[in-house]
Structure 1
Amino acid sequence: MLLSTRYYSVKSRSTAALVCRRPSKATNGSNAVAASFSTMIASMLRDPSLIDDHRVRHGGAEDDDGDDSSFFEVVDPGSSSGRDVVARVRRMGREDASRAIERANAALVGWRDGTTASRRSSLLYGWSSLIRENSDDIALIMTCESGKPLHESRGEVEYGASFLDYYAAEALRPNSAGGGFVCPTPFAAAPGGVGGMPRGRILAMNEAVGVCGLITPWNFPIAMITRKAGPALAAGCTVVLKPSDLTPLTAVTLSVLADRAGMPKGVFELITSDGKSTAEVGEEMCTNPTVRKISFTGSTPVGKLLMRMSSDTVKRLSLELGGNAAFIVFEDADIDLAVNGAMASKFRNAGQTCVCADRFVVHRSVEGEFVSKLADRVRRLNVGHGTKDGVAMGPVISAAQVKILKEKVDAAILEGATCVVGGSPLTDLGPNYFSPTILTNVRTSSSIWHAETFGPIAAVRTFDTEEEAISLANDTRTGLASYFFTRDMSRIFRVSAALENGIVGVNEGIISTASAPFGGVKESGLGREGSSVGINEYLETKYVFLNA
């Protein structure tokens, strides 16, 4: 889950005043929701209707009793308290999910069979255009609920829209829904005969899988939605989306804009739930036989749980799960280029992506230069609230994650690691901030080495031979991404082939784009997202023998 480098040039207007404020205490009912938004975000937005009060209250549910317990709070992790309420969103449960699935199923035939590929393409282009037109507002909403710096949020809006553009075009390709191929048969014109025209034709036809359940994480609130919904809708599937309870507002804005783009009712359903109801919503999506595919981005343990729950109905699965990326710096590397790559890969979104470099494997002869230059860059990182000008890194998502990071750093130091930079929470900014950190001499037995970090900590150890570097990189049960830096072309091909990962960056720290297949091996998941491969995840192949 990462941003293409070309989106880092997106410019922003001054945002010094756009710091999310604590709202007044809300009361029950729709007026309370409206007041909460007018206090928090709506006054800052160019188009306040993007956060539609009805949608936030109901999230697509058909009834609302106004009970305050049926709402959950969305908080700003970057606030000084770490808990400032941004908004209150409807808590939906199993019955809501079941009704959303029914609506998606009712819309399926009209979308799959009654809508041309050209029309689906046009709707996706229209959706992406509206997203771009509202990029500043969407970015502000995203920053206030996820904590990432505003320039990263703006970059993600463009990145997310690019998936809709890509799959709008892909909807028209011969390998999309309605496409396929024809091939000759081995059958003679008459049983036992030879020569003459073959009997019949083999037709292979691509068809939409059906209703798809999409479950997305908080760390990329828009891109993970469009990367799944884009190919699903292009293929003729209808979708039921369950976004993270930490970042539902970005999903609400996408739903609003999908409606404005003319998306038919039931084609894009949204379910909002929190910790009290997410388990039952997920279970309904996985066990309901109407849902024919689940696409999930998140942790490996949750992915395994969804696999088990989906097995009784033998669903198609796309799983983009955890990583623990290695970042190898060989002795012939361009060190300045490697440092640039490390900064982009490690500290973007405060290190909270599945493809962030966690384990830095550096040749002994260049470790000193690499660590020194990296430390100099890290010390200059401006950490703070994502809406403030000049901020390069925001908070991690919660105080609980800060505690985990601190425990991992302390354990590594006790085992012999050296803390070069950082290593502690930044409590003066709030409970959810952790200093960007570099550790050297990290042991492979350390918890910070053998498990995904999900925080702004670079763990460094040295190697002496190419074989040792590859062994260290592959010594993990996950296999999402890895990176290495070298000038040796022969080594580039050797190491790329030897690394057990679905994604490999060579002399580059950020490598994702809509036109590239994204996904992992081993316990990092199943399937691919992006590129022409991505739409195949939402298609079934039907074989028809035509004897005519």
Structure 2
Amino acid sequence: MTDSLDTAQTAPADGNPVASAAAGTRTAADVVTKDLVARLTRGVVGSGRTANHTPFTGDVLAELPESTPEDVADAFERARVAQRQWAATPVRKRAAILLRFHDLVLQRQAEVLDLIQLETGKARLHAHEEVQAVAVAARHYGRKAPAYLKPKGHTGVVPTLTKVTELRKPKGVVGQIAPWNYPFELSVGDALPAFVAGNAVVMKPDTETALTALWAREQLIEAGLPPEVWQVVIGDGPVVGPEVVKHADYVSFTGSTRTGREVAQGAAARLVGCSLELGGKNAMLVLHDADIDKAAAGAVRGCFSSAGQLCISIERLYVHESIADEFAERFVARTKAMRLGNALAYGADMGSLVGERQLETVTRHVEEAVAKGAKLLTGGRPRPDIGPLFYEPTVLDGVQAPMAVCHEETFGPVVSLYRFRAEEEAIALANATPYGLNSSVWTKDGRRGRKVAAELNTGTVNVNESYAAGYGSVQSPMGGMGDSGLGRRHGSEGILKYTEAQTVAHQRVMPLAPSFGMDDEKYAAFMSRSLKAMKAFRLR
């Protein structure tokens, strides 16, 4: 490891965004100690060895257990044994664990912020978005799970004579495949509703961000979760991922659309359910009456949070032609003022890309677009002087098909600016993609904003915000349409997907068959009269 992760940079003469956050003194070695790694990996099923690295320098962070297919099978076996007793635990006791976990996360957030930064390379403020999201999810399901899961009475086929109750039973053992870009929120944040619903979880985090997920597991166990209920397996996605799908009673996956299709096929072959949060090519619409300064600031947040490595980040900006030039000027000025940095401290506006593959994609998309006639308004350069995977926040103008950046997901700090004349045109352009994850509308007229939002084919739409308002409102479902996935997280759908609905119908007094001396014809006539009466009384 390097002696220090913190560097001070100065802006070059061309004014491109490179000023870093204030330098600090802590190193990766100060945070990721041998004792920490030994503590976090205790109980991980893995007979081999692998390693993860920090994007800030490319150096090894930790040696980790590596799981074989046999290890995965063993993890599921252990989880199944633990799940039976866990499911018998009253739901209010399970929910109380989430509330204790909420408090531990906020009390010890500095520890996980360091790990998130070291494993993903993101700025500390963007790491804190994960802390916020996990705390909100823990509080929500800690408070609401008993109501979501409680038995519900329904009107039976014959009112008063048929008593119907809907029960919710856990799926069993959920197989979760978590991504690298939000290793705290998209690991434990997605697992919390599965746990409180009475399931065990076998999780495969990305190897490069496994420490963050393991830290979350340690805190949840301290809050009261039985250790065997949450099993973690680590290894290459093509090796370990299919094994997780092979054994799971339900699969939760967040990642690329290509891999999501493979996961769905594997789950379908076994007739188990799955939820998939996949890619996006998200659009932001700036209408003619938008507050330009607020929209420009929102675009910076929407486009460059976590260096654009966010499924719901903005990659396409559609701006009304009457304000496009002024918006571009203010947006580019804000982008140029951004500070890039690798300090384990607040102050940087953007951090690093996570890996070589992301850097290659970003570089290819930008260079191809410029070569084919797009105009570079700012950015467009890697910054190896700050770290091996840093890339400047980049704004392109004049992008058009068949440039790859026009239609492919970049998943990096690159956004394309487009102009439109009419709202109908902007809506059509925003919808002209197979993806449908998130979108954003900016206007001073809230009613107009909500009207436009309803015409956009995305799972979430934010009016006068980029993504945080929709994602953070955890009572409401969040997920994708089209190539952006299946199922939802958050709200009732986010927990009920981890359950099986069971209907218990208790028939009383008389059977649903000829009785009390009725023959078939009289019974049919009786039931016909009853059905007409139920409609007349407006029964549902």
The TM-score normalised by the length of structure 1 is: 0.85
Verify: 1:454 aligned to 2:407, yes or no. no
* AA aligned opposite 2:65: R
Flag structure 2 segments of 5+ consecutive residues without an equivalent.
1-20, 509-540
Contact 1:422 1:436 in 2 (8 A): yes
Give the aligned partner of residue 41 of structure 1.
31
* AA aligned opposite 1:16: G
Give the aligned partner of residue 232 of structure 1.
194
Contact 2:133 2:189 in 1 (8 A): no
Secondary structure of 2:349's partner?
coil
What does residue range 366-515 of structure 1 map to in structure 2 within 5 Å? Answer: 366-388=323-345, 390-509=347-466, 510-511=468-469, 512-513=471-472, 514-515=474-475
Q: 1:17 aligns with which of 25, 43, 47?
A: 25
Secondary structure of 1:266's partner?
helix
The Cα of 1:119 is off from its aligned counterpart by: 0.9
Q: Deviations over 1:521-546 (max 9, x none)?
A: 11111111112331111121111111
What does residue range 191-206 of structure 1 map to in structure 2 within 5 Å? Answer: 198-206=160-168
**Distance (whole Å) between structure 2 residues aligned to residue 408 and residue 526 of structure 1:** 28
Contact 1:41 1:86 in 2 (8 A): no
Give the aligned partner of residue 243 of structure 1.
205
What does residue range 132-281 of structure 1 map to in structure 2 within 5 Å? Answer: 132-173=106-147, 175-176=148-149, 179-187=150-158, 198-273=160-235, 275=236, 278-281=237-240
Q: Deviations over 1:302-325 (max 9, x none)?
A: 100001111121111111100110
**Distance (whole Å) between structure 1 residues aligned to residue 503 and residue 438 of structure 2:** 35
**Distance (whole Å) between structure 1 residues aligned to residue 61 and residue 30 of structure 2:** 6
Q: Deviations over 1:379-426 (max 9, x none)?
A: 111112142552111111123322221111111112221101011111
* AA aligned opposite 1:74: N
Secondary structure of 1:223's partner?
coil
Verify: 1:71 aligned to 2:33, yes or no. no
**Distance (whole Å) between structure 2 residues aligned to residue 15 and residue 253 of structure 1:** 26
The Cα of 1:250 is off from its aligned counterpart by: 0.6
**Distance (whole Å) between structure 1 residues aligned to residue 118 and residue 456 of structure 2:** 38
**Distance (whole Å) between structure 2 residues aligned to residue 483 and residue 152 of structure 1:** 19
Q: 1:524 aligns with which of 450, 468, 484?
A: 484
**Distance (whole Å) between structure 1 residues aligned to residue 378 and residue 22 of structure 2:** 30
Q: 1:475 to 1:209 in 2, by over 3 A?
A: same
**Distance (whole Å) between structure 2 residues aligned to residue 467 and residue 403 of structure 1:** 35
**Distance (whole Å) between structure 2 residues aligned to residue 411 and residue 201 of structure 1:** 66
Count of matched residue positions in the alignment of Structure 1 and Structure 2: 485
Contact 1:18 1:388 in 2 (8 A): no
Moved more, 510-519 or 85-94: 510-519
Give the aligned partner of residue 507 of structure 2.
547
The TM-score normalised by the length of structure 2 is: 0.86
Give the aligned partner of residue 30 of structure 1.
none
Verify: 1:116 aligned to 2:90, yes or no. yes
Q: 2:251 aligns with which of 294, 308, 320?
A: 294
Q: Deviations over 1:486-545 (max 9, x none)?
A: 223453233112111000011111222133321011111111111233111112111111
Larger Cα-atom Rg: 2
Verify: 1:53 aligned to 2:13, yes or no. no
Secondary structure of 1:541's partner?
strand
Give the aligned partner of residue 74 of structure 2.
99
Flag structure 1 segments of 5+ consecutive residues without an equivalent.
1-12, 21-38, 65-69, 188-196
The Cα of 1:547 is off from its aligned counterpart by: 2.2
Contact 1:161 1:226 in 2 (8 A): no
**Distance (whole Å) between structure 2 residues aligned to residue 508 and residue 459 of structure 1:** 18
The Cα of 1:294 is off from its aligned counterpart by: 0.3
* AA aligned opposite 1:547: Q
**Distance (whole Å) between structure 2 residues aligned to residue 464 and residue 445 of structure 1:** 22
Contact 1:59 1:271 in 2 (8 A): no
Verify: 1:333 aligned to 2:290, yes or no. yes
Contact 1:40 1:87 in 2 (8 A): no
**Distance (whole Å) between structure 1 residues aligned to residue 465 and residue 39 of structure 2:** 44
Secondary structure of 2:280's partner?
coil
What does residue range 1-12 of structure 1 map to in structure 2 within 5 Å? Answer: none
Superposed structure 1 runs of 4+ greater than 4 Å apart: none
**Distance (whole Å) between structure 1 residues aligned to residue 496 and residue 23 of structure 2:** 41
* AA aligned opposite 1:128: H
**Distance (whole Å) between structure 2 residues aligned to residue 122 and residue 489 of structure 1:** 38
**% of aligned pairs identical?**
31
Contact 1:210 1:237 in 2 (8 A): yes
The Cα of 1:296 is off from its aligned counterpart by: 0.6
The Cα of 1:298 is off from its aligned counterpart by: 0.6
The Cα of 1:439 is off from its aligned counterpart by: 0.6
